[in-house]
Amino acid sequence: MDASAFATQCFGVAGQARLLTGERDQNFHISAADGGEYVLKIANAAENPVLIKSQSDVLEYLARTDAALPTPRVVRSRGGAQFVRERGNIVRVLTWLPGRLMHQAPRTQTLRESLGDLHARLSVALATCTATLPRGDLLWDLQHAQRLRPLLAHVAAPEPRDLVSTALDRFESVALPALAGFENQIIHNDLNPYNVVVGGGGRISGVIDFGDMVYAPLVCDVAVAAAYHVRSDRRPFADVAEYLAAFLKRRSLSREEQVIIPDLVRMRLAMTVLITNWRAGLYPENRAYILRNEPAAVAALKALSAGAGALETLN
């Protein structure tokens, strides 16, 4: 497919196309002649079209609800559709959010506080969204993390396996019963350093990739975001506390929700170890790439296992 020609013909976006890296989709950055920037996304042929529609529905809802939220905007086709089909694939165009991804930016207090503030704004907007999400078992759905216990068999090293097993035990005995009493809403579910855009002044300027959205307690979304700011020293939650304090200025969490954040963070880190080791066994030729994030997750789990005192920052 000629991405430039297709974008012009079907979406009225004329410009030069540059191929981007992507895990599931084939993505192109379109630099338009009028100065606009866009992403043309060609979904994997196995992708669920209901998922694509739900993402578009949510993005359009966010644009109507809080126009200042820096999330991608859906560019409809010349015929007014959210996406078009081409050779069995689903093709859509979104606006491009300028900046660098968080994994490329210095981790500062300003960054963490701006992330907490923007995340809270996003969660407020999503709380009233009634878009239909596709049913299915998402591996990365933290509220159902206990389903991943069989994957422990794929973690060969004793220390990571013990750390993950402990996280699972705590999740099942403490966090899981508590989650059942919290209200659900649509959550982004994947505010990792590759889905957050940083702009001028080191502040968060955008959120992308809504492909892992689920209905879940809001505290799960907080824990997912927090897991990427755990330090591997004697104060593992010091940076998380800065993010969380900014979040709580805009969006409240009950005492019960705040209490289980440490166990949810541990579980999210444990999920990284479980899922990546399992996938590395399935695709051994790509093992190094798949396991690239495991060492940091293990280091964070070790820091958190040092003692309950390390969790007091959030209490």
**Which has the minimum average pLDDT: 57-66, 128-137, 233-242, 254-263?**
128-137
pLDDT at 134: 87
| First-last CA distance in the chain | 54
pLDDT at 46: 77
Predicted TM-score (pTM) of the model is 0.94
pLDDT at 310: 46
pLDDT at position 12 over 60:
yes
**Which has the minimum average pLDDT: 105-109, 132-136, 172-176, 273-277?**
132-136
pLDDT digits (tens, 9 = 90+) for 257-287: 999 999 999 999 999 999 999 999 999 999 9
Quote the CA–CA distance of 99 and 283 in Å, as a whole number: 33
**In the block, residue with structure tokens 């999210």:** 268
The predicted model gives 16-33 an average pLDDT of 86
pLDDT at 24: 65
Ramachandran sector of residue 136 (left: φ over 0; alpha: ψ -120 to 50; beta: rest): left
Burial label, 289 (beta-carbon count in 10 A; 0-12, 13-18, 19+):
exposed
**Hey, what are 221's tokens?**
């979304």
Q: 140-176: b or e for each residue (b if 16 or more CB lie within 10 Å)?
A: bbbbbbeebeebbebbeeeebbebbeebbebbeeebb
Share of the chain above pLDDT 90, in %: 86
To the nearest whole number, what is the mean pLDDT of the chain?
A: 93
The predicted model gives 212-226 an average pLDDT of 97
Cβ contacts of 272 within 8 Å, gap of 6 or more? 227, 293, 294, 297
Confidence of residue 45 (pLDDT cuts 50, 70, 90): confident
pLDDT at 130: 95
E runs forming strands in 144-274: 184-187, 196-198, 204-207, 214-217
DSSP state of 51: H
**Hey, what are 306's tokens?**
């040092």
Domains of the chain: 3-96 (3.30.200.20), 101-314 (3.90.1200.10)
Percentages of the chain per state (helix, strand, coil), in multiples of 5: 50, 15, 35
pLDDT at position 308 over 60:
no
The predicted model gives 105-111 an average pLDDT of 97
pLDDT at 44: 75
The predicted model gives 79-86 an average pLDDT of 94
Quote the CA–CA distance of 239 and 246 in Å, as a whole number: 11
